[in-house]
Chains A and B, each alone.
Chain A
């Protein structure tokens, strides 16, 4: 229906929703009369405040919305009020709807109620007979962002950050008016940037100046006296001294083009596997001509549908993992045991080692030593690192003084009998990133132990070799552990912290604090080959390659997993990682773990021929298998269909994760999901992977039980 929710209905919805959420942290709505300057009259200023500090932002639950509704109603019922304004508590306007109730929802009517409530309450800012304002003083996400859109005018603080509509990132859509109001305010293309592009780009958010530049705010004001100046500006709007003119959005082809652009971005990011962004785009498309309340009703239905979707339940689960579990690794020892890190050594000067050196420099700002087998390699590595610092300075990511500081902290030395390793003597942590071969790494550790202190942490960046084996024979094996980064180091936040049987608590605590200081998320894993990410990825890739070996066309095998909407296809990932690395890890896992880790002869053939992967690229970027590459492959005559490949891969992955959990490689399935999200970019709509395997029945079929209890990353069984 294309009419706003009536008052009685609203009260009923509020009551029923409040009853289902007894633990709501209520965001209150306080009203105070303000005498506006310039003789503009009285403004009722409503402050949203849950009484907690900025670490617990305002959120909208039923009771909070009821308070806001009552405050607006009271203000608008008066005849002595010239304006109504809403603002937030220090640093925060509002972080949107209270999502904590959603995991418990078992019926779409519950979600429908929430959507209708938000629309009804915020609509008062639109239907008011006096000018309404929202002063965006700080964080405004989701429903907080949408609140502002319903008011006639918006000011924003130059210091505000964390502004956006992250709904599509989680698996829902802006359902309190955003899909209608935003494109009608700033045009469809800019709206698509906020509704689709930013959320699907690692949930990027806007700053106050960006919000103003997009045209969402009418005026950008300094933080120092933001509220005073907002009230002053509002007064001048009321008196007519300030007239706000907004350009009418282009409702012609530009609107359709924007929606198409949004679809292309969404396809690229999720390949059709996540419903929410597509639903949001449908709403934005309809918003070009739809009646306001009809579109609001459509948003209501979209929210109700999506809240009941498995993709959203998985998304909330993954979001919770990334917000909470990622910050407090399961199984972590007391962090008081951590030793300070005052100097870091890196052994190896290849690409990975130099990336690590730059990371340590930037984040820790302590002396960093690198080394390699000869002076030439060391010089090249140092030149690369100095160049990277210069690039950061040129991009203004560091100040000139800071760049000088970093330049002064990096040094290099030659490794080996002719070299001088005294530079490593006072390192708190040394990480080796040398050739991936056990004997080489053991010799490196043995040599290091002659120079470093007994407590210095010796960390290995190995992706598949045994950490315990590397520690074996050392005088102090207890200070050895794995510290496994993911490529590209600057982007992927995961560090697998590998605890070998003899690694002691102080060493582990030091490594976890180090990961935090590097702004990485650590997951504690056991010393099993491939740890988590590589083990899953190589099992996955091995099955796809095996299908090709058997005769499945490369394109068919590669597209078989597309329905999952992974960040890239299997063979694109292979090309990114490099076939040589993939082969080496596959061989290690095959030997150390199990022959079920297939080593594909065709993969070996690619490596031997020095090919960068299976694909060449056409001028427009599309991948294809060249004749030369095809000639290298020896394939059978038992091709599989895409469906068969998919089934085989998912069976293998399910089995593998089951084994990993049985072997206590990690504490719980959540850690597997966290690793895949943070280390391989696996999407929220899969919940990492185990929620997907549960909901498609793989886990029950293959290992006889779900990975996660029902309701954790799925709609619970109704009580």
Chain B
């Protein structure tokens, strides 16, 4: 008998405040960041018996030290989940958490799981990007990729080359807007809703508590950004101000079969419609979201016009603009990253996918008139990932597409 696929819902997501690398989380372990998220999810949903969690999938890019040892399993044990709950670790660099979500969702759709936890962590203080990397010499000798492909900022400059219409000014303006939107989201209490406090160890200063993201710079103006130097290329366009920084943080979410969620009384914030990953030239990894979105939309039988809410990761302002230009969406459209994005909040690599989902779920709640949304992100080594979601609060939702 052929398998019958089930609908999958995103129940809820939480995250730690994000920190700047080398700063507030310097003496905090990466796995403890994840443990905090898992415990917060369980606390927020007493209607979910922990033994019903069928899998814990946690992503991290550099899986050594406090990010190693099969995170999904270690953090499940450390968080006090029953020993019967299994877990694993997963890596797709920036899209680690997104891939953890699509993986467990696929497992749910297949009937292997009813409920799962998926998330990601990156502690870039303890695990700098590319640390201990050993690229195969063939990449260079056979010119499989250009040297710039391994430096994310250089790929961003390459995107400016490919699309000269995306100027530095546009990038700076977008970056300033991201900062303002985060500032307003904090003022409106939007961001705080999904944060879990994390104890901050410091041998020098004693214990503290992280209760807000460390990276945002609320008063940022495009004029101020214009003065920043361009570290990836002399007289370039990419700066520390129009890109996400190096950050520490973790995210986790509950994903469930829609019918089981109903049975247990778990809320359904978003319903998964489709997802896709696609590869692009590593030298312009930032354009990855374009083909992955085309592919995911096609699988969903939808067009960009059907999408009422977009959460796109802001690794670099230029790649966001490249995506928006391609799909004909105005950079200031409030349907794009309304609560701000990675440029202001930070991008702890493997964790960001679920942060996008947390924002999209909030956008769905705030806008029941929106039926479909996407979470999309570019990925190192030239990929893009996109998930298409349906808003259960929409009056027309649930009807077959």
Contacts and interface: CB of A to CB of B under 8 A. Distances in A.
B39 A224 contact: yes
Interface in B197-240: 197-199, 201-209, 211-212
A222 B40 CA distance: 13
Query: Top 6 nearest A-B pairs by Cβ distance?
Result: A30-B206, A47-B206, A227-B199, A32-B208, A34-B209, A47-B207
A225 B206 contact: no
A32 B211 contact: no
A45 B208 contact: yes
Given A31-B206, A45-B207, 18 more contacts: A30-B207, A32-B207, A33-B208, A34-B209, A37-B197, A37-B211, A45-B206, A45-B209, A87-B207, A222-B80, A224-B39, A224-B78, A225-B35, A225-B199, A227-B209, A228-B196, A231-B197, A232-B197
A51 interface: yes
A605 to B, nearest CB: 64
A33 B207 CA distance: 9
A196 interface: no
Contacts of B202: 30, 32
9 contacts: A30-B202, A30-B206, A34-B208, A35-B212, A45-B206, A49-B206, A222-B80, A224-B79, A232-B197
B224 to A, nearest CB: 27
A31 B206 CA distance: 7
Interface residues on B, range: 20 to 34
A86 to B, nearest CB: 10
Contacts of A232: 197
A83 to B, nearest CB: 12
A227 B39 CA distance: 13
B67 interface: no
Interface of A: 29-35, 37, 45-47, 49, 51, 87, 90, 222, 224-225, 227-228, 231-232
A76 B197 CA distance: 24
**Secondary structure of the A contact surface, majority rule:** strand
B207 A227 contact: yes
Contacts of A29: 206
B206 A224 contact: no
Interface in B68-98: 78-80
Q: Which of A35, A225, A228 has the most CB of B within 10 A?
A: A225
A698 to B, nearest CB: 51
Contacts of A33: 208
A210 B36 CA distance: 26
Contacts, number: 57
A47 B35 CA distance: 23
Contacts of B35: 224-225
B36 A225 contact: yes
Contact of A228 (B79, B198, B212): B198
A155 to B, nearest CB: 13
A30 B202 CA distance: 10
B205 A228 contact: no
A49 B211 CA distance: 23
Contacts of A45: 206-209
A226 B205 CA distance: 19
Q: Which of A37, A49, A224 has the most CB of B within 10 A?
A: A224
Nearest to A232: B197
Given A224-B39, A225-B35, A46 B206 contact: yes
Contacts of A49: 203, 206
Contacts of A46: 206
A47 B36 CA distance: 21
Contacts of B39: 222, 224-225
A189 to B, nearest CB: 34
A35 B211 contact: yes
Contacts of B209: 34-35, 45, 227-228, 231
Contacts of A222: 39, 80
B323 to A, nearest CB: 36
A629 to B, nearest CB: 60
B69 to A, nearest CB: 17
A537 B140 CA distance: 84
A242 to B, nearest CB: 16
Given A222-B80, A228-B197, A51 B203 contact: yes
B80 A224 contact: yes
A82 to B, nearest CB: 14
A678 B78 CA distance: 39
A232 B205 CA distance: 21
B394 to A, nearest CB: 32
B190 to A, nearest CB: 16
A30 B205 CA distance: 6
Nearest to B207: A47
A85 to B, nearest CB: 9
Interface string B5-44: 0000000000000000000000000000001100100000
Nearest to A158: B80
Contacts of B196: 228
Contacts of A228: 36, 196-199, 209
